[in-house]
Chains A and B, each alone.
Chain A
Amino acid sequence: MSTAGFNSQNGTGPGQAYSNGPSQNPVAIQQLPGVSYGMTHQPPYNPMQAKAPVAPGPGLYHSGYPPVSSYQPGPQLASYSTPPGQPLLTRPQIAGPPLHTPPQSASPSPGPRMPLAQATPPPPAVSSSSYYSNLQQPQPNAQPWQYNPVPAPMGTPPPPNSMSSPPRGPVANHLNPPSSSTAPPPPPSSSTAYSLPQQAYGSHSVTQPPGPGIPPTSLHGYNQPGVAPPPMNPAVSLSYSMVRPTYGPPPTGPPLSGPPPTMKPTPATGPPLANVIPPPLKADGTIAGNGPQSSNSYNHVDNKMGGLPPPGPPGRHLSHYPSLPPGYQNTAAPHKPTAPVHPAMQAAPQPYSQANQPYQQQPHSGPGQAQLSPSLAALSLQSSSPEALRVVNLLQDRNLLPPTSVPAPTPCLPHDLQKVNCSPEVFRCTLTSIPQTQSLLNKAKMPLGLLLHPFKDLSQLPVVTSSTIVRCRSCRTYINPFVSFLDQRKWTCNLCYRVNDVPEEFMYNPVSRSYGEPHKRPEVQNATIEFIASSEYMLRPPQPAVYLFILDVSHNAVETGYLNVFCQSLLDNINALPGDSRTKIGFITFDSTIHFYNLQEGLSQPQMLIVSDIEDIFLPTPDSLLVNLNECKELVQDLLKSLPTLFEKTMETQSALGSALQAAFKLLSPTGGRMSVFQTQLPNLGVGALQSREDPNQRASAKDIQHLSPATDFYKKLALDCSGQHIAVDLFLLSSRYCDLASLGCISRYSAGSVHYYPSYHQQHNPAQVERFQKDLKRYLTRKIGFEAVMRIRCTKGLSIHTFHGNFFVRSTDLLSLPNVNPDAGFAVQMSIEENLNDMQVVSFQAALLYTSSKGERRIRVHTLCLPVVNSLSDIFAGADMQAMTGLLACMAVDRSVSASLSDARDALTNAAIDSLSSYRHSVLTIQQPGLLSPACLRLFPLYVLALLKQKAFRTGTSTRLDERVFAMCQLKYQPLAYAMLMIHPALYRIDDLTDEGALNINDRTIPQPRVLQLSAENLSTEAAFLMDAGTVMYLRVGKNCNPIFLNQVLGVPSYAAVPDNLYLLPELDTAESQRTRAFIGWLKDQRPFFPTLHVIRDESQLKPSFMQNLIEDRTESALSYYEFLLHLQQQISK
């Protein structure tokens, strides 16, 4: 199971499929990989079909393709020089090679998206200093970031001691839809995207008799004494009968078989609701009462319940959520802390904890009371403050790293909302409590944004097959757990507050096979769900999986020997390529000419066709270059076996990458698909030729780094054309020399591809890199893939998206065009608050990813995240998520380095740390004391900022190759947060004394859990061995006087001196120590999709400097130590 996280074909694995409606088969269909999905009626995909105009569907681009086969007499095919040693391939003479008319470039049709149901929002105030430096007045100094305009004059600062927000006054219940929610339906012309047929909804005459309205009893103690349960509408009763699919088995005792006790079905006699404020309930109370951490000392919430709450009797379960109770609202007793986001709560049985996700596994006890700074003693008044706001003096408390990974904070939501909320691994917000107004956000001086990992491999994912996908009629939001049901027939959208009808079909619940309980359907019980989309979501027949490989075969490429590895990997995995019977495959190789391979069925061997007219590229035989994999598998295998030998003796050193890409674009544009480009040198011939821009002498300069932006827009324009034809380009760069990744990377960046970089790849000289390439290729070839995808991110009215980060093309204000989507892609989004969120208790964000699976199914994966709105600064700080903030800041800093300069970005990063801490000091704390004070939830933020400053992408003064720097920048923007955090702040473990104490047990394997150490040389000792996990690379540092038992039993060498220099694989010894070490390293490797190389290093190893550079708390020649950095921050704050 440990690898299941990344290898499972989610959605097709054990996920449940629900059929919809009484008319359909009510039995949940188990969908298994390899089974066709009811799409068998779909005719086999014919590329010619796509050329015909397709019925207007929900799409992005014009569906009509120009006929690709319209040929004109063209220039003569250039000479065929037949190098010796190519006996295998026959080369037919092509007489009068046709000139290929280039297909129409991407000409997306006018956006079919309907406008948001809102008046044109006022443009964001640009006058405030924005992320982009003011264009009119380029400022030499770094401006604070966009979230940090001129601080608005504070009114009365919120009392810092009372951690509860001031009463907000009567809260308008949003169940009363605002008038705007009755906005007229959009004009028909704009309703093509995602258009549901205007359904004649069933008449609403069927009114349910009010059920027994049993007032909720105070189960979790969040009922204020004396507050009589208000009368409520019983029709919205709700019980969690659905088995919530966990995202994976928890580490011990997987409760896959059943829901946690609190999710036991309760009869549908839930709380009645009406337009009154339900009794206030405290999220912390519920959460704390639920987990085993009730003894934790920071929870001063009245935990009436110790231990697990028993499955409540009918009515006891406060299942409020259809009415979105303002439970965390401020009518509660003021002494209650509002956001005790204690890390220990993470250990509460969360539905998302899974075996191969280490981040939430161990009850993490956080810094104990014993470590509280002495300064806190003075704050006796604040002793009741929640853990997240505990004041930490960073200058005094050094040991702030948690023993295991840092958990994500839990939004301060009512328990029943939080229980169904989206997993932080998929959807995360930098502020888990959203400020009410932009001015409040400006005062807090923290970035607001989302981090998404939408296509993450999930081991369990509910899949709904439904003829009607229920969506809001005005904003097109998918129905989700955070909508409220007014009655059985009406639901209120949680994003635009429009009241919608519940379609007749939705009344039937396929899980319980009962009728009349729309709120129990899987759509309303799961924040992450996948729909099988109907033909309304198709712009054209779903495309087949199409893979085109473009291989560099110049002398340099042959020298590196990557072709062998590639061909062998593809041969090994050719049956594991995701796809169905329509899967197509093709190959193009290039040096100074372009070589096509005719693999048509019936040929005895592959034919190589050489086109040397690279200025005006054409396809020699357009029909037989891209062939059906199943029908022509033998020819493909023949080709793969012969390819490495074919170019062995080539002397061609030039590389016409641009022309090869153009040819590939022509080949793929009728269908769309994936291009995988393998490049080993700077393209220097034909279109898209680049020059070397790097000056090696400037690598270490502390001055500004030049050439971070592309040199030409050729690759960008080609990527946009590709994006329009649903083609993604993945780039594998295997080069020891400068390749201008800043320019080349554009081809992947705007076509939603991915970039893989293997510096100094060589088959003999760099075996570690070869192994990494091999493992990465396996993952790359076999991972799940989604074609012709779009992702739309919607958010509650009042919030708007400011900037996107990641690899995609932004099609409109909230729509990303993703020709391909893969499970290893992350996205970040900066948000701004355009209208005040005064009358809202919660806001929601919904990311909907519409894609074609490799089996030719159109699917929609929907994630919904719900977060509370707060109106006091202390609450905002209590909800800050330092890791997410770091991830977002890294993305913003990359943008800033490219648009302005690297030093500008570095200053802005430092300012981000200064701003947030000074805002905390001046606006939240009243008792001023010496020291650098930070809330506990931000205690690692300065460390992360320092780590970013020392990261390869942003460091100065240390020799860094330009390509590696640009690649690090790509990764920061593109990787999901969990992997990016390891890149930023590696984890250091001592591994020579691993014990089974506190070990995890996964699949009968015992995995020791050593403590995460601070990244400082003072933790290193010569008597021990340390493992540093930096995401894509791991270092195992063996000390000089290392325990001989470790050397013997784990490394298999007699002494320190015998440790080989280039050891990158631990020997499989049959000793307990070796097993433990290998289990631990294997477990770490299993948590990420791509393969990290392991280097065993000694004191005199070449790689020691790169190990030492990761010790970010230490001073280097060019950068401050952590303590110095803190002093610098303190100095700036007290200014």
Chain B
Amino acid sequence: MAFTFAAFCYMLALLLTAALIFFAIWHIIAFDELKTDYKNPIDQCNTLNPLVLPEYLIHFFFCVMFFCAAEWLTLVLNLPLLAYHVWRYMSRPVMSCPGLYDPTTIMNADILAYCQKEGWCKLAFYLLSFFYYLYGMIYVLVSS
């Protein structure tokens, strides 16, 4: 049992995924509030938009770490989400500030439903990957 770089990567990913889970929960709550009229779309977009890039960067960061640690299976599992993030950010509306959400279109029922679904899917993904990283960390620690 030795503390390898891979083990370090998994531990880091574990912590960061926990953070991402909070991001996802925050996202879900925010859109639910929009849907039930509690929040103004301008406010909500102003709070959500600054969080988008950090989330994507955190995910990108530990993908790079897994690449460096040559954890190929883990990397492949994360690639679809990485690609989705890149695509999502490329196809964002014209905006001068970072972020994805435009207060003028966010109240459209289709976009609202899409964002809600996106939140739930991401939450599920992060939760599953949390346990996978836990398993991966223990496996790496034990096997090495």
Contact = CB atoms under 8 A, between A and B. Distances in A.
Q: Do A and B bind each other?
A: yes
Contacts of B103: 720, 809
A801 B109 CA distance: 8
Given A115-B38, A120-B32, A720-B104, A126 B113 contact: yes
A111 B110 contact: no
Interface string B7-26: 00000000000000000000
B40 A709 contact: no
A123 B104 contact: no
A803 interface: yes
Interface string A618-645: 0000000000000000000000000000
Nearest to B108: A803
B39 A110 contact: yes
Nearest to A749: B104
A832 B109 CA distance: 10
Interface of B: 32, 34-43, 84, 88, 91, 93-96, 102-104, 107-114, 116-117
B108 to A, nearest CB: 5
A713 B95 contact: yes
A717 interface: yes
B107 A130 contact: no
A803 B104 contact: no
B94 A810 contact: no
Interface string A115-137: 11000100110100011100110
Given A126-B117, A135-B114, A710-B94, 14 more contacts: A109-B40, A110-B39, A110-B40, A120-B36, A123-B112, A131-B110, A136-B84, A712-B96, A720-B103, A802-B109, A802-B110, A810-B41, A813-B37, A815-B37
Given A110-B40, A110-B43, A111-B37, A714 B109 contact: no
A110 B38 contact: yes
A713 B42 CA distance: 14
Given A135-B91, A710-B94, A713-B96, A803 B109 contact: yes
B38 to A, nearest CB: 6
A197 to B, nearest CB: 22
Contact of A712 (B38, B94, B112, B113): B94
Indicate the size class of the contact surface on chain A: 35 or more
A111 B38 contact: yes
Given A111-B40, A126-B117, A132 B111 contact: yes
Contacts of A124: 109-110, 113
Contacts of A111: 37-40
24 contacts: A107-B43, A108-B43, A110-B39, A111-B38, A111-B39, A115-B38, A120-B35, A123-B35, A124-B113, A126-B113, A126-B114, A130-B110, A132-B111, A135-B88, A190-B38, A712-B94, A716-B102, A750-B104, A802-B109, A803-B110, A810-B107, A811-B40, A813-B37, A814-B37
Nearest to B96: A713
A711 B94 contact: yes
A722 to B, nearest CB: 12
Contacts of A114: 37
Contacts of A123: 35, 112-113, 116-117
Given A120-B32, A120-B36, A720-B103, A108 B42 contact: yes
A810 B109 CA distance: 11
A143 to B, nearest CB: 11
Given A712-B94, A716-B104, A803-B110, A812 B42 contact: no
A1014 interface: no
A813 B35 contact: yes
B104 A809 contact: yes
Contacts of A724: 42
Interface in A766-815: 800-804, 809-815
Contacts of A115: 36-38
A106 B42 contact: yes
Contacts of B42: 106-108, 720, 724
A809 B104 CA distance: 6
A146 interface: yes
B113 to A, nearest CB: 4
Interface of A: 60, 106-111, 113-116, 120, 123-124, 126, 130-132, 135-136, 146, 190, 709-714, 716-717, 720, 724, 750, 800-804, 809-815, 832
Contacts of B35: 120, 123, 813
A132 B84 CA distance: 18
Contacts of A801: 109
Contacts of A810: 41, 104, 107-108
B110 A812 contact: no
A804 B37 CA distance: 16
B79 to A, nearest CB: 15
Contacts of A800: 109
A106 B43 CA distance: 9
B36 to A, nearest CB: 5
B107 A813 contact: yes
A813 B37 CA distance: 6
Q: Which of A109, A113, A720 has the most CB of B within 10 A?
A: A720
Contacts of B43: 107-108, 110
A801 B110 CA distance: 11
A716 B40 CA distance: 16
A899 B44 CA distance: 22
B87 to A, nearest CB: 8
B16 to A, nearest CB: 25
Contacts of B91: 135
A832 B108 CA distance: 12
A750 B102 CA distance: 12
Contacts of A803: 108-110
A1116 B84 CA distance: 44
A146 B108 CA distance: 12
A120 B94 CA distance: 31
A501 to B, nearest CB: 26
Nearest to A810: B107
Contacts of B117: 123, 126
A712 B96 CA distance: 7
Scoring A108, A135, A801, A803 by chain B CB atoms within 10 A of each residue's CB, the highest score goes to A135
Contacts of B112: 123
B95 A812 contact: no
A798 to B, nearest CB: 15
Nearest to A122: B113
Given A811-B41, A812-B37, A146 B104 contact: no
Contacts of B96: 712-714, 717
The 8 A-B residue pairs whose C-beta atoms are closest, nearest first, are A108-B40, A810-B107, A812-B37, A123-B113, A802-B109, A126-B113, A113-B37, A130-B110
B8 to A, nearest CB: 34
Contacts of A712: 94, 96
